[in-house]
Amino acid sequence: MSAEGQLYNAALFTPAQGSTLSSSKTPLSAVKGHLFKLMRPALSRETDLRERLGKIKNTEGAIDAYIEIVEKMKERMKVSAPYHKFLTIINPAS
């Protein structure tokens, strides 16, 4: 499938100019699926985050729960990656 590569593209969830994430038309079930794909390698290590992600119900507070898990994963990856400084040099936006 030619679009499968887009499933790994984190920019899928970047809000369009003038919109907010909470007003996105993306179904919450799709967000969960994409997050599992995007974070798959790390979720095999961070099993507590994988379990939390799996338990999120697609209700009113789901976006906040997704954001919290992604932020936690980001923190953990910064701590556990000994080459983080190298990655920052390559991609100064991270």
Quick one: which of 43, 54, 51 has its CA closest to 77? Answer: 43
Per-residue pLDDT band for 77 (boundaries 50, 70, 90) equals confident
pTM equals: 0.61
Q: Are 35 and 53 in contact (CB under 8 A)?
A: yes
- State the chain's mean pLDDT as an integer: 77
